[in-house]
Chains A and B, each alone.
Chain A
Amino acid sequence: MMEGQPLSFQDLILTLHDYWGKQGCVILQPYDMRVGAGTFHPATTLRALGPDHWNAAYVQPSRRPTDGRYGENPNRLQHYYQYQVIMKPSPANLQELYLGSLDAIGIDPLKHDIRFVEDDWESPTLGAWGLGWEVWCDGMEVTQFTYFQQMGGFDCKPVAGELTYGLERLAMYIQGKDSVYDLAFNDAGVTYGDVFHKNEVEFSTYNFEVADTASLFDGFAKAEAECKRCIDANIPLAAYDQAIEASHLFNLLQARGVISVQERASYMGRVRDLAKGSCQAWMDKNGWSA
């Protein structure tokens, strides 16, 4: 489908690192906690606040326990990778920079139909929202493109631009594969399935069947308490880690099907309070006004 040899999964990441590094982004490593999306990385959530300029790019492994399919669905995974770029303030040519990255990974915009289709982003658990698009390549969503307007309930001053690439999808597209497990991870014959299929089967089992709900509830309560202690101790970065932890435990409880519809809203509210509290503490500690 692409001219020449298409990029392997790892080369796709390396190419994006190279490209965004040249645009002045700090190339970070994944955050070492279980999160649902790249946006949860403190390099996005907390750095989106306040006046400081900040450009960063990183891969973030993302966990969505309810999306697990025991390795049987070619498109759905409970663990996958997002490539995240954040630039603050949003540069005037962010769209052009983004299109440059597509060119870098071998997508020809005169051969493929690239479109910016309205899609506003909202994260109730982060108290965040923004306007932007999902970027379509021949009808497939390959990237979420967002101008953050609020984070943790605070106006973004200035606004950051956020790009989130779905790496597996993009790789499947570039490599012309119908199943994520068939993706070439490298050019030496290792597939995505070789690396991750067992994980998908095991973690689907864990998320849906095995995870001990009593200790998850317990863990949620402890993370919540710890987050508040950290806020009181004026260490917002540590507090935010506990908000992330609570958010993931909530997702696991959801996958276990033990949170009823009414409780769901209440749990989301509790996670949001933790995230907002951490953001508030971060703002206060840095001396930034709302």
Chain B
Amino acid sequence: MERVTDFLLELRSEEIPARMQDKARADLARLFAEEISKAGLQASEIVTFATPRRLALIARGLPLQTSAVSEELKGPKTSAPPQALEGFLRKTGLTQDQLEDRDGTWFAVIAKPGRQTAEVLTEAVPAIVRAFPWPKSMRWGAASASTESLRWVRPLQGIVALLGDTVVPFEIDGVVSGSATVGHRFHHSGDVTIGNAADYAAKLNACHVIVDQDERRAIIRTGAEKAATAAGLMLVPDEGLVIENSGLTEWPVPMLGRFDPAFLAVPEEVIQLTARVNQKYFICRDTAGKLANAFVCTANITANDGGAAIVAGNEKVLAARLSDAKFFWEQDLKVPLETQAEKLKDIVFHEKLGTVADKVERVAKLARWLVDEGIVAPAQAGASAGIGHPDVKQAPACAGATELANDAERAARLCKADLVTGMVGEFPELQGIMGGYYARAQGEADAVADAVRGHYKPVGQGDEVPTAPVTVAVSLADKLDSLIVFFACQVVPTGSKDPFALRRAALGVLSVLTENGLRMRLQSAFELVSPMIPNKRGTARLIGVRDDANFGKVDVQFLELLDFFADRLKVQQREAGVRHDLIDAVFALGGEDDLVRLLARVKALQAFVITEEGTNLLAGYKRAANILKQADGVAPAEAGASAGVGTQGVELAAAFAGATEFDVALLNALEAAEPKAAAAIEAENFEGAMAALATLRAPIDAFFESVMVNDPDPQKRAFRLGLLARFRDAVHRVADFSKIEG
């Protein structure tokens, strides 16, 4: 007799939602492996299958028996009261003479013989079924008179459980395991008896069921392509649709259908969405790449009329949907976007924040401001980074700026108008895209229409980032407005709750700023937008004002927004390999709300800390910081000043009798490095600032090597602590090294 065999499990139910099938397979494999491993069993391979009507697993190479194990149980102390011992004997089913006395404690050694694998499975499978993690599950039938009845994704109808050629017998809420299943819902009637795992797929195939989803996917992929090619067209590949259709069919048959070319007047995105989302059809292009009046649907039968009726039916359904879409398109075209935009007064943006019309007004002002301030410049908006200084108000750089400002404001005023169109009402996913079409159709400039279309971008990491100046201005204004007004009103994301997608908006702002190298002070935008928040009561909107060392009098909600940006920046830059601790180290300096400049500094820092100089300087910094922390009793700055390491340090230090050459060398190095670093930072030459810091490395190393900071002479000690404090402060002007890990 073979020592190992295969196990087949098929859980047959009414139609399982397509989107749940892949996860269900993964869950089944994982739970099965976990459950049998509790009995010490392991399969050499587990494969899973899913169709609309079945979830199946084959575990190969299962031993027929589990190995014998002996289990040791610790009991009460021999000195314990007799009740404790009695309890232990009851629990183990042993008598006292079977126990071992080890150093005054009773032990039971229970030999567990190997179990039949079939017996293990009899318990394991019902446990898996009862605890299966479906995203949504239900009760059904007579048993559901109790809310404790079995739950499954849809009614569970049958179970095949075969270990080798033998049925593993069990019952779950009236569903009894066996060897019989059913074939295709329409192509086969009656039971199909499965012999074992090896003949499962073949037997089902003979009954028009392709149980392997990968096989069905291949059929759909190539079949759809063939159908398109045969019509002289190219299929638009769509793996999502392949997977979805494979989850809706046991016997997929792709077929080409047509629609009236008159519908091609409707924007391509609408046709694609209607076909894809509503009907799960593939779309096709002609050889020139234009959308063709054809689609590929995937039937679940080989029809007895060759599929004519199915194609005709699907054509009719699509035609009805497209004529709806065409109706909306034509209706919408009759109404200018300005007129549509007036209806935005009736749409509440947020109860604390007025209507969408209010938002549009703010976005329009902000978009114009971005151009007027020279933050977004005409042409080459994305060409160069880090040129302009954000603190200095720039005159619009060239003659195109007026036009750009007008276009940006115009696009902003139109950008939300499509929300009230019939088409976007029907297909909310097309917001922006439809607005772009309607703008172009009513003769707006291309730059304006493009901005209306693209202003929601980027909608996620990896999405295209706008670079056209008008689009950049509107995209930025729209997102900044949302962030500023929600933060100003303390409607901020918490945990997993971010109903207004502010995290995504902040990431979008970061991408637009960094990819285009745009320089701006977030505080200025905050101060422009927050007074525009509608305020019924006429009271101060401000939650509170704080005196910030760097920003001066500042709205505390602005500081919160800045922290939020810091967190998003870490997320955004993680993929680019930028260390989050370095971002913290620069943010901790405070006062920086120009995110492009901040990032440049972070990147220079990252390049520096991995050099030998950087690593050693960081070590020197940490040592200095520790010593200063321990010397907390003495206020180092004061001590330093009294010991003559103030700004006119050189002469004073020279006058300080106890100074060694190492003290002097460090002091001189600081004297030289500080102005260099400051000048470099002023010029935003962060590499230069790092280079200036690097000159401190040798002197600080030598200093630690050769002098004792905690000198018994309090004057010397104070002097050296002062020196270290000055070293620390010099480093801090570049970044807060205490935040750097390692």
| A-to-B contact residues, CB < 8 Å | 1, 51, 73-75, 89-92, 95, 99, 108-118, 120, 130-133, 137-140, 147, 149, 155-159, 161, 173, 178, 260-262
A138 in contact with B313 given A110-B187, A116-B14 (CB within 8 Å) = yes
Interface string of B298-333 (1 = CB under 8 A from A): 011101110001101110111010001001000000
Which residue of chain A is the closest to B187 with respect to CB atoms?
A110
Are B300 and A113 neighbours in the complex by a CB distance under 8 Å?
Answer: yes
Are B316 and A111 neighbours in the complex by a CB distance under 8 Å?
Answer: no
One of B155, B185, B312, B346 near A147 (C-beta < 8 A)? B155
How near does chain B come to A90, taking the closest CB pair, in angstroms?
5
A89 in contact with B141 given A111-B309, A139-B313 (CB within 8 Å) = yes
Are B351 and A139 neighbours in the complex by a CB distance under 8 Å?
Answer: no
Are A159 and B140 neighbours in the complex by a CB distance under 8 Å?
Answer: yes
Are B248 and A140 neighbours in the complex by a CB distance under 8 Å?
Answer: no
Across-interface contacts of A138 in B (CB, < 8 A): 309-310, 312-314, 316-317
**Distance of A268 Cα from B187 Cα, bound (Å):** 46
Across-interface contacts of B226 in A (CB, < 8 A): none
Interface string of B152-169 (1 = CB under 8 A from A): 011101000000000000
Across-interface contacts of B309 in A (CB, < 8 A): 1, 111-112, 138
How near does chain A come to B26, taking the closest CB pair, in angstroms?
19
How near does chain B come to A149, taking the closest CB pair, in angstroms?
6
How near does chain B come to A111, taking the closest CB pair, in angstroms?
5
How near does chain B come to A64, taking the closest CB pair, in angstroms?
16
**Distance of A196 Cα from B327 Cα, bound (Å):** 23
A110 in contact with B186 given A92-B141, A158-B145 (CB within 8 Å) = yes
Are A111 and B300 neighbours in the complex by a CB distance under 8 Å?
Answer: no
Interface string of B246-266 (1 = CB under 8 A from A): 001100000000000000000
Across-interface contacts of B346 in A (CB, < 8 A): 260
Which residue of chain B is the closest to A75 with respect to CB atoms?
B320
Q: How large is the interface on B (under 10, 10 to 19, 20 to 34, 35 or more residues)?
A: 35 or more
A157 in contact with B146 given A110-B186, A110-B304 (CB within 8 Å) = yes
Are A120 and B136 neighbours in the complex by a CB distance under 8 Å?
Answer: yes
Which residue of chain A is the closest to B16 with respect to CB atoms?
A118
**Distance of A108 Cα from B154 Cα, bound (Å):** 25
Q: Is B679 an interface residue (CB 8 A)?
A: no
Across-interface contacts of A156 in B (CB, < 8 A): 139, 144
User: Most chain-A Cβ atoms within 10 A of its Cβ — which of B157, B185, B297, B318?
Assistant: B185
How near does chain B come to A33, taking the closest CB pair, in angstroms?
30
A110 in contact with B141 given A116-B14, A120-B136, A131-B136 (CB within 8 Å) = no
Q: Is B18 an interface residue (CB 8 A)?
A: yes
How near does chain A come to B82, taking the closest CB pair, in angstroms?
47
28 A-B residue pairs with Cβ-Cβ distance under 8 Å, sorted by A, are A73-B327, A89-B145, A90-B141, A92-B155, A111-B303, A111-B305, A111-B309, A111-B310, A112-B309, A113-B299, A113-B301, A115-B248, A118-B15, A131-B138, A138-B312, A138-B313, A139-B279, A139-B297, A140-B313, A147-B155, A149-B139, A156-B139, A157-B144, A158-B139, A158-B145, A161-B140, A173-B313, A260-B348
Which residue of chain A is the closest to B174 with respect to CB atoms?
A92
Across-interface contacts of B154 in A (CB, < 8 A): 131-132, 147
Q: Is B19 an interface residue (CB 8 A)?
A: yes
**Distance of A155 Cα from B140 Cα, bound (Å):** 12
Are A91 and B141 neighbours in the complex by a CB distance under 8 Å?
Answer: yes
Are A117 and B248 neighbours in the complex by a CB distance under 8 Å?
Answer: yes
Across-interface contacts of B392 in A (CB, < 8 A): none
One of B18, B142, B185, B318 near A118 (C-beta < 8 A)? B18
**Distance of A290 Cα from B4 Cα, bound (Å):** 51
**Distance of A260 Cα from B347 Cα, bound (Å):** 8
Q: Is B17 an interface residue (CB 8 A)?
A: yes
**Distance of A36 Cα from B143 Cα, bound (Å):** 31
